């Protein structure tokens, strides 16, 4: 009876902890917010499922271009979601055009962590008023929402992938309305792009320091001129960033399929996240926030990384600052190329300001 009681108590505690992962942290949109809707507005099959996710819309006082910003495609890439959240909480006004922000693109993926990784469920950022808690999730859809994985995954374009890729949103575009749940999610996002006639679609990501595509803009060929100009302007402002063209045969990725199947100009941003890498030490909240890891320092000294790395690490605030600076430059360049369809907003935190004041000052 004693043993059974202990088991019941442990089950209750762990069950309650597991359920807390289903609760979305409260967000505080800026004054420029026009409305908050759900992604299921564009594909009703998602309604009342773990895949439905909030869409924050900022509509300008005058017509202009339309932009979609995605964070949280992979929920173990926290700078992506946090960049989207920082933007939506700081947009004071939208003067022209329309911006759609989805902070948690794969909502299911933020309800669990990767197996065998020992990742923390949450990380915290201190603000002027409180300690805010955010979830650290998984690269993939939660298995309780989509299971089992097939042995192989045949993408709609015919590419054969490993079965577990059916739970990877960024291998599922343009999606299938009658496919796996992750494919339905991809279909819903692609439907939003089509129905709203999105001009520019941006997908935010992070990658490990040993991954070749790092601190870079990955662009569909239709967005080449825009991406090249943005890179040049960022470099002139002291932000080193690379360019990667979307491979035509690499199917399922946002930049490839959005560009091929809709009229949008599609790009993806990558920044370096040591907490994702395979050379790191122990997973921890400190690693997520500071990006400091002695094993990566050693790897950098051996020339095994694709980004500069030293004892200062690669902190979360730097990763967010890079994403937001790149986003800001895309807006500036878009308006230069398309003065007839401007996208103009106020309240975007500056790169140096973020680094000096920290994330807590803007949340």
Distance CA 80, CA 86 (A): 10
Distance CA 180, CA 220 (A): 26
Residue in this structure with the two tokens 């937001």, named with its chain if needed: 324
Residue 256 within a domain: yes
Q: What six digits make up the tokens of 235?
A: 């470099």
pLDDT at site 217: 98
pLDDT at site 15: 64
pLDDT at site 7: 67
List Cβ neighbours of 259 (8 Å cut-off, separation of 6 or more).
Answer: 220, 221, 222, 223, 246, 265, 266
Q: pTM of this prediction?
A: 0.95
Residue 62 within a domain: yes
Residue in this structure with the two tokens 């908050």, named with its chain if needed: 36
Residue in this structure with the two tokens 């059916």, named with its chain if needed: 166
Maximum Cα–Cα distance for the chain, whole Å? 75
Distance CA 277, CA 10 (A): 32
pLDDT at site 325: 98
Give the CATH number, domain containing residue 248: 3.40.630.10
Residue 27 within a domain: no
pLDDT at site 14: 64
Residue in this structure with the two tokens 């890179």, named with its chain if needed: 231
Residues forming a β-bridge with 268: 203, 218
Number of structural domains found in the chain:
1
Environment class of 265 (CB within 10 Å of its CB; exposed 0-12, middle 13-18, buried 19+): buried
pLDDT at site 5: 74
What is the helix, strand, coil percentage profile of the chain, to 5?
40, 20, 40
155 and 253 Cβ atoms separated by less than 8 Å: no
158 Rama class: left (phi>0) / alpha (psi -120 to 50) / beta: left
Residue 8 within a domain: no
Residue 285 within a domain: yes
Give 145's Cβ-side CA count (13 Å radius).
Answer: 25
pLDDT at site 20: 65
Domain encompassing residue 149: 33-362
pLDDT at site 334: 98
Residue 131 within a domain: yes
Residue 102 within a domain: yes
Distance CA 124, CA 127 (A): 10
What pLDDT tens digit does each residue of the chain (363 aa) get? 888 877 677 766 666 666 666 788 899 999 999 999 999 999 999 999 999 999 999 999 999 999 999 999 999 999 999 999 999 999 999 999 999 999 999 999 999 999 888 999 999 999 999 999 999 999 999 999 999 999 999 998 889 999 999 999 999 999 999 999 999 999 999 999 999 999 999 999 999 999 999 999 999 999 999 999 999 999 999 999 999 999 999 999 999 999 999 999 999 999 999 999 999 999 999 999 999 999 999 999 999 999 999 999 999 999 999 999 999 999 999 999 999 999 999 999 999 999 999 999 999
Q: Return the number of other C-beta atoms located less than 10 Å from residue 109's C-beta.
A: 31
Residue 179 within a domain: yes
Distance CA 292, CA 279 (A): 12
DSSP string, 153-184: EE-TTS-EEEGGGGG-GGGSTT--TTS-HHHH
């Amino acid at each position: 009876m004693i043993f059974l009681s202990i088991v019941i108590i442990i089950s209750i505690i762990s069950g309650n902890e597991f359920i807390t992962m289903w609760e979305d942290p409260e967000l505080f949109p800026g004054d420029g917010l026009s409305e908050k809707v759900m992604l299921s507005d564009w594909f009703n099959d998602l309604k009342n499922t773990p895949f439905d996710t909030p869409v924050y819309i900022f509509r300008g006082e005058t017509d202009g271009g339309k932009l979609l910003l995605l964070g949280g495609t992979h929920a173990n890439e926290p700078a992506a979601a946090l960049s989207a959240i920082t933007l939506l909480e700081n947009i004071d006004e939208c003067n022209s055009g329309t911006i759609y922000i989805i902070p948690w693109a794969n909502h299911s993926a933020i309800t669990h962590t990767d197996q065998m990784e020992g990742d923390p469920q949450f990380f915290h950022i201190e603000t002027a008023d409180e300690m805010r808690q955010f979830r650290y999730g998984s690269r993939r859809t939660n298995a309780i929402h989509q299971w089992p994985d097939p042995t192989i995954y045949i993408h709609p374009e015919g590419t054969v992938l490993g079965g577990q890729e059916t739970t990877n949103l960024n291998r599922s575009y343009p999606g299938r309305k009658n496919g796996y749940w992750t494919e339905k999610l991809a279909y819903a996002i692609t439907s939003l792009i089509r129905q709203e006639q999105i001009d520019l679609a941006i997908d935010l990501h992070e990658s490990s320091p040993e991954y070749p595509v790092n601190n870079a803009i990955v662009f569909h060929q239709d967005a080449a001129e825009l991406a090249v100009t943005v890179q040049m302007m960022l470099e002139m402002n002291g932000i080193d960033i690379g360019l990667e063209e979307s491979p035509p045969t690499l199917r399922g990725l946002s930049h490839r399929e959005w560009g091929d199947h809709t009229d949008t100009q599609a790009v993806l941003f990558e920044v370096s996240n040591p907490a994702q890498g395979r050379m790191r030490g122990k997973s921890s909240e400190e690693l997520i926030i500071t990006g400091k890891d002695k094993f990566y320092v050693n790897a950098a000294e051996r020339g095994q990384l694709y980004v500069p790395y030293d004892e200062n690490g690669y902190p979360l605030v730097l990763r967010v600052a890079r994403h937001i600076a790149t986003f800001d430059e895309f807006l500036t360049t878009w308006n230069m190329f398309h003065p007839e369809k401007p996208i103009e907003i106020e309240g975007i935190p500056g790169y140096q300001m973020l680094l000096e004041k920290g994330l807590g000052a803007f949340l």
